[in-house]
Amino acid sequence: MSRVGVPLAKLSDIPLLRSLSLPMWLASRMLILVSNSDALKDFLADRSSVGFWASMHFLSTYSSYRPTFEPEDFDVCPVLLTQPDQDKWTLLHLSELILSRIKHVSVKTVELENAGHYPPEDPGLQQMADAVIEFVHQIAP
């Protein structure tokens, strides 16, 4: 969604147009989710992922989502961010804007080498698996 797409989605969320659907690859920058071209082809064909068609109502409500509570109030569980170093979808500094505001629980960031947003490639994939296993063992020994 963009500066143009978000307002258009909101304008299109009227009874006549709200059920109109767009492919997610058109509504968002889905083509940069993964660095591996073979994996991207699979994601584009997957109707539950990048190949999903979203209604204008969904896009409108998604773009106007407001969290239940602010990061400063988050106290539910520890947080692990596995951040691929080649992620063009969610840049680390954007995640840090939110994570830096979490004060009541521990926050750990693990950078994944040679990996895009969806990391099917090593060493990033193995680093993610190792980080998740270590994280789970720390919170539930």
pLDDT reported for residue 60: 83
pLDDT reported for residue 82: 98
> Quick one: tokens of 139?
């919170």
**Which residues is 82 bridged to in the sheet?**
110
pLDDT reported for residue 108: 98
* Cβ atoms 91, 117 nearer than 8 A: no
pLDDT reported for residue 122: 93
pLDDT reported for residue 20: 82
Rounded Cα gap, residues 46 and 48, in angstroms: 5
- Give pTM, 2 decimals: 0.78
pLDDT reported for residue 72: 98
Q: What is the mean pLDDT of each run of 10 residues along the chain (141 residues)?
A: 64 79 81 85 86 85 85 97 93 96 98 92 96 96 77
pLDDT reported for residue 5: 66
Cβ neighbours for 113, distance < 8 A, ≥ 6 positions apart:
85, 123, 124, 127
pLDDT reported for residue 4: 56
pLDDT reported for residue 43: 84
Letter string b/e over residues 21-36, b meaning 16 or more CB atoms within 10 A of that residue's CB: ebebbebbebeebbbe
Q: How many CB atoms lie within 10 A of CB 105?
A: 11
Q: Give, in order, the Cα–Cα distances in Å from 73 to each of 37, 67, 95, 106, 108.
A: 40, 11, 17, 13, 18
pLDDT reported for residue 24: 82
Three-state SS for 1?
Answer: coil
